[in-house]
Structure 1
Amino acid sequence: MKLKNWALLLAFGLILSVLAACGGGSSEKPSDNAGKGTEGTATEGENVLNFVNGDTIPSMDPSLATDEYGFQFLGTTMEGLYRLGENAQIQEGIAIDHTVSDDGLTWTFNLREDAKWSNGDPVTANDFVYAWQRAVNPDTGSEYGPYMMNGVIKNATAISTGEAPVEDLGVKADGDYTLVVELENPTAYFESLTTFGTFLPLNQKFVEEQGDKFATSSDTLLANGPFILKDWESTSNSWNLVKNDDYWDADTVQLDKMTYEVVKKPQTGVDLYEAGTVDRAPLSSDLVDQYATHEDYTVEPQTAMYFLKMNETRNEALANTNIRAAISRAFDKEAIVNEILNNGSLVANGILPSDFSRMPEDSPEAGTDFREVNGDLVTYDVDAALEYWNKGLEELGTDAVELELLGDDGESAKVMGEYLSNQLSTTLPGLTVTLKNVPFKQRLDLDSNMDYDLLISGWGPDYLDPYTFLNLFLTDGDNNKMGYSNPKYDELINATTTELATDNAARYENFLEAEKVLFEDAAIAPIYQKAVAQLVSPKVQGVIVNPFGATYEYKWASVGSAE
């Protein structure tokens, strides 16, 4: 998932991608309604939590969302077949159970009959059929539909490329409350996929009635999850989530409301926290030093990875492997995590994060962390960087290279960009790096259009499998967007979803080898694995932090004592 990449942005002061993942203006001055109810009046006596958000919500359309903010609020207001509970355990959603055929290709989901949309319509199997068909229909223009479904759902690839009608998608309704899904190949992670935002249902009649206005404001949205989005338009700098009393499991939901205010400056968020206006505030590195001994200080490890994308198509220099190899070794990552971020983030020397995926039981390294098995694939090394750099310059026939570095316009993002620019220009003689900082939504657009040289990007996993990171770099992949292509890499990764689909040990061996190929090619320059340092009020209880998908799960959250 693109991060704010989380593209996330969830820690509004950090650099974001993203997903494998848009926001308009922002407010650095709290609005008059910050921390208040929908009508701007205090909500005493209600179970209310008040939060800041790093930017506006780019999209609330499940077919079009690509970033963490969009998936966060989709996950809070909507529900798919399943949702994630504590420790990423799959919990009932609209599906109460399912069966899988012996060959692993046909999944039959039994749906509950008491789930409703917020307009009173029942949630049915047809809502999933329509939503999934819409996501892969090329007329929709979805990025994540093809990305998540191609090669997984039967005929998705042919449909997304215009070679087959949407009706051929391997998803059918057997009555109102039975959904039958046919897969292209056995897919080890398919159950976890069903928790992700792209697989949410949609009420076809409502969507078509709204037309181009669908999902552009609270009035053009429907909810079927724990909360309803209120007071929101696509450019809103504040909004509210209120409990959905028509949710099938409303008795479990304890929160009455959550309020959100767009705040980009960490100091502003801390000021709101100290004033008791908000209940959680991410900290920038300078604020960590100030608040590390605060009783509400917490460090939240996450599985999002941040890295430099290097566009091989716009700038001739970046088409050179030695130039890319030099860049990936030319900046001090320890200084980034210890001084710039200063929030518990870890140095990244690969694309798979630590403590995310372990080797399967039938593997020789059974139970060992994937990152530990593959080790460090690219580290900070000035001597090696200079050697690669000089080779690259010689091959290019030049002694000077000019590159543009694209990043978000948040305060910490600007600091990160300035540091990387300085490090690269200082370490590599003849390199000039100019900075371009833009709002998150604009950065996503520039990324999608490959209109950049270097890009500070982030990716949060969409499901619990190495494929969620490694498929990003397939030739012409929807989230590649940097011109990288290696047939050997493609062969290794594609085999994990075809001939090796039922051999998990062999799949993981391919993943290990493919990651090595990626860094032999110097396709990207890893920077860090994200953690978030925050002030969190003791009253924030029961919030689950997910390792993939929406960062936070609030279904089981509650308001405790702030004392």
Structure 2
Amino acid sequence: MKNTKWLLLALGLAISLLLGACSGGSSETGSSDSGDEQKSSSESEQVLNLIETAEIPSMDSSLTIDALASQWLGSTKDGLYRLGPDGKPEPGIAKNHDVSEDGLTWTFHLRENATWSNGDPVTAHDFVFAWQRAVDPDTGSEYGPYMMGGVIKNATAVSEGEVPVDELGVKAVDDYTFVVTLEKPTPYFESMTTFGTFLPMNEAFVKEQGDNYAMEADALLSNGPFIMTEWDHGEGWTVEKNKDYWDADKVKLQQINVSVVKETSAAVNLYETGKVDRVNLSSEFVDEYRSSEEFQVEKEPSTFFLKMNQENEILANKNARKAIQMVINRQAMVDVILNNGSVPIGGIVPGNFVKHPKTDEDFREVNGSLVETNVEKAQELWAKAKEELGIETAELRYLGGDTEVAQNLDAYIKDQLEKLEGLSIKVESVPFQVRLKRDKNMDYDLENYGWGPDYIDPNTYLNIWVTGQANNKTGYSSEKYDSLIKKAATELALKPAERFEAFLKAEQLLIKEDAVLAPLYQRARAQLVKPYVKNVTPNPMGPDYTYKYAYIEGK
């Protein structure tokens, strides 16, 4: 969920962002809020026009695993906390909270003036229902067990059907007091509560809608800054200011219109003709617009890599996986194919994300690059793998996206991989929703995949690959790896430096020794943004952007 974790199957760049999604870097414009600016913004039409490259699969916060849904859930709903203009948690439905001395009991005090868009009050019972629903095995959520397991008391036991859902460590003491009991001290738990999986739900409304819940605009309730008023599947959607929002005075935008446009050339044309206010640029447009005052590069803590399905006989061979890691020229990929500020990466934890508690060194700098580009050595490993497998040739299915940029990137990677003698790659370019389903069913051999953080901690990238985790989907299982991640979560939970070291070892095992993934790049977005768009801020996790404080000035 980022996935965000939410998964990332690159949205807006090469692949569609799955869960986790997230953006980093500076805000699109300054965040000054002077009286003169307020006056100016009130004289401009407060309508923002945007583009996405895919359709929202669902707005059900228990079931979504992609960053696109994360973005619009975060825009239409408030959790206990939400991401503020600085990318840090700020009060949402919770005014504040208390934590017990042992760090296990969190008591959230809810505001009494928050309502759903049907007029019902938002209460502690809405959180109890939503969190229980997320781990109820009958719901079939991927993210509920992933995000809550090992964090909320009894979450894993509930999700595995061992105990009833009412034994989950959550309770409503009264309408406006919500108490959460954790399995272990979790210092980053406050930031987790901003994530989509932890959003509240109105039980009566959800049950009334049944299977149609969160699949249409009129099958949704909002308690956040905006309300989804239109949802034309495949074409786009509209959100409008929620006039009954508890903090409505802070919301200046009256409407956000989103159009689904997959081709960059068409999106740029819409931008040039003033029909949209922001556009992501593919490589062929970057040089054309680099000198524009409206051009900007936004770096993110999102990493992309090839997942390799070890249920495939060829990819079950470690030498084959290592050959795939080594044959790809990552530098040429980011310089020529992406050309948007993205940088090569040799691991899964991004740079400028977390630092060593004692030395203040960046995680990525400490672990360095765990893969190299070495075509000669890759050929040797591939020859050894073929000998071990008793084959001369091989074909692998490569699951990719159907956007223009995705197909360009996937064609490049196909060309790189086919340098391995006797290997042919069959690229299967499919729509976003199909990719989600096929990933879930492990219906791929190789998959271009990405991950953005759900909270600010290395665990958000490394916990994915534990045996049996819902988002693993690679067939990878290692007792040694599982032990490192478990140790970081338990006996080292309150020993920050030792915990950090355990994560460093885990990434080395995952990438360098076991070659589970082939790291590709850390993403950046090259964009054009209209100068009249103010206070849209990128987030380090969860929704890519915060629109609550955005406004139009001087259009």
- TM category, shorter: over 0.9
Fraction of identical pairs, as percent: 55
2:462 pairs with 1:470: yes
**Which residue does the alignment assign to 1:35?**
none
Q: Mind listing any 5+ residue stretches in structure 1 that lack a counterpart?
A: 22-42
1:371-520 alignment runs, 5 A limit: 371-426=364-419, 428-519=420-511, 520=513
**Which residue does the alignment assign to 1:18?**
18
Shift of 1:4: 12
Q: Which amino acid aligns with 1:193?
A: M
CA 1:516–1:378: 2 relative to 1, 3 Å = same
- 8 Å Cα contact 2:55-2:260 kept in structure 1: yes
CA distance in 2, matches of 1:19, 1:50: 23
**Which residue does the alignment assign to 1:291?**
289
- 8 Å Cα contact 1:350-1:378 kept in structure 2: yes
- 8 Å Cα contact 1:16-1:306 kept in structure 2: no
CA 1:307–1:475: 2 relative to 1, 3 Å = same
**Which residue does the alignment assign to 2:307?**
309
**Which residue does the alignment assign to 2:205?**
206
Shift of 1:54: 1.0
CA 1:190–1:207: 2 relative to 1, 3 Å = same
**Which residue does the alignment assign to 1:103?**
102
2:361 pairs with 1:359: no
Q: What SS does the corresponding residue of 1:154 show, helix, strand or coil?
A: coil
- 8 Å Cα contact 1:406-1:456 kept in structure 2: yes
Shift of 1:232: 1.1
Q: What SS does the corresponding residue of 2:418 show, helix, strand or coil?
A: helix
Count of residues paired in the alignment: 534
1:144-223 alignment runs, 5 A limit: 144-223=143-222
- 8 Å Cα contact 1:311-1:450 kept in structure 2: yes
- Which of 526-535 and 384-393 deviates more? 384-393
User: What are the superposed Cα offsets for residues 323-378 of structure 1, whole Å, 9 maximum, x if unpaired?
Assistant: 00000111110111010000000101100000011111xx3x2x211111111111
Q: Determine which structure has greater relative contact order: mean sequence separation of CA pairs < 8 Å that are 6+ residues apart, divided by chain length.
A: 2
Q: Which amino acid aligns with 2:257?
A: T
- 8 Å Cα contact 2:44-2:552 kept in structure 1: no
- 8 Å Cα contact 2:107-2:178 kept in structure 1: yes
CA distance in 2, matches of 1:504, 1:96: 29
**Which residue does the alignment assign to 1:344?**
341
CA 1:330–1:10: 2 relative to 1, 3 Å = closer
Q: Mind listing any 5+ residue stretches in structure 2 that lack a counterpart?
A: 22-41
Shift of 1:20: 4.9
CA distance in 2, matches of 1:392, 1:323: 5
CA distance in 1, matches of 2:76, 2:178: 22
User: What are the superposed Cα offsets for residues 364-401 of structure 1, whole Å, 9 maximum, x if unpaired?
Assistant: x2x21111111111121112212221221121122212
Q: Which amino acid aligns with 1:509?
A: E
CA distance in 2, matches of 1:5, 1:438: 22
Q: Which amino acid aligns with 1:252?
A: K
Q: Which amino acid aligns with 1:228?
A: I
Shift of 1:88: 2.3
**Which residue does the alignment assign to 1:227?**
226
- 8 Å Cα contact 1:304-1:460 kept in structure 2: yes
**Which residue does the alignment assign to 2:93?**
94
**Which residue does the alignment assign to 2:258?**
260
Shift of 1:236: 4.0
Q: What SS does the corresponding residue of 1:352 show, helix, strand or coil?
A: coil
Partner of residue 241 from structure 1, selected from 239, 242, 263: 239
User: What are the superposed Cα offsets for residues 67-88 of structure 1, whole Å, 9 maximum, x if unpaired?
Assistant: 0001100000000000111332
CA distance in 1, matches of 2:10, 2:256: 15
Shift of 1:237: 1.3
Normalised TM-score (structure 1): 0.92
CA distance in 1, matches of 2:542, 2:532: 25
CA distance in 1, matches of 2:364, 2:282: 27
